[in-house]
């Protein structure tokens, strides 16, 4: 089972257990403190993940793995292993990564009212 405790609308504490992530290293299990990113942080993550293909026609490709790494770096405030860095995220257990990714999708989603405006 997993547990998510909502602290504020823009912060969340998530606990990942051995039951959820049976192959994770011991230091990846435990409590994570997450935060919602700002609009600017999201734009900066896109820039870091973008590769311009055609400047004249304003065409770029986005590396989703680079974008997601940026999201993890920005949105994980505290992790059980200590400092959050790219090297550790590259080694992150798949179950832990998927759980955190799902939490970020919820935490960073656009409000339902705003979705209707698009």
DSSP characters over 44-59: HHHHHHEEEEETTTTE
Give the model's pLDDT for residue 98.
97
Tell me how many domains the chain contains: 1
- What is the reported pTM? 0.82
- Contact at 8 Å (CB) between 2 and 14? yes
**CB atoms inside a 10 Å sphere around CB 51:** 9
Give the model's pLDDT for residue 58.
87
Give the model's pLDDT for residue 7.
44
Give the model's pLDDT for residue 1.
42
The answer as to whether 114 is a domain residue is no
- Contact at 8 Å (CB) between 53 and 35? no
The answer as to whether 118 is a domain residue is no
The answer as to whether 117 is a domain residue is no
Mean pLDDT per 10-residue segment, the chain (118 residues): 52 96 98 96 95 91 96 97 96 97 90 53
């Amino acid at each position: 089972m997993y547990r998510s405790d909502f602290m504020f609308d823009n912060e969340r504490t998530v606990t990942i257990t051995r039951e959820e992530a049976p192959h994770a290293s011991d230091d990846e299990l435990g409590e994570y403190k997450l935060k919602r990113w700002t609009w600017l942080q999201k734009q900066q993550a896109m820039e870091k993940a973008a590769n311009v293909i055609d400047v004249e026609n304003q065409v770029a490709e986005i590396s989703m793995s680079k974008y997601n790494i940026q999201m993890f770096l920005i949105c994980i405030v505290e992790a059980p292993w200590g400092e959050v860095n790219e090297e550790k995220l590259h080694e992150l257990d798949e179950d832990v990564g998927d759980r955190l990714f799902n939490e970020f999708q919820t935490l960073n989603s656009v409000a339902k009212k705003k979705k209707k405006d698009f």
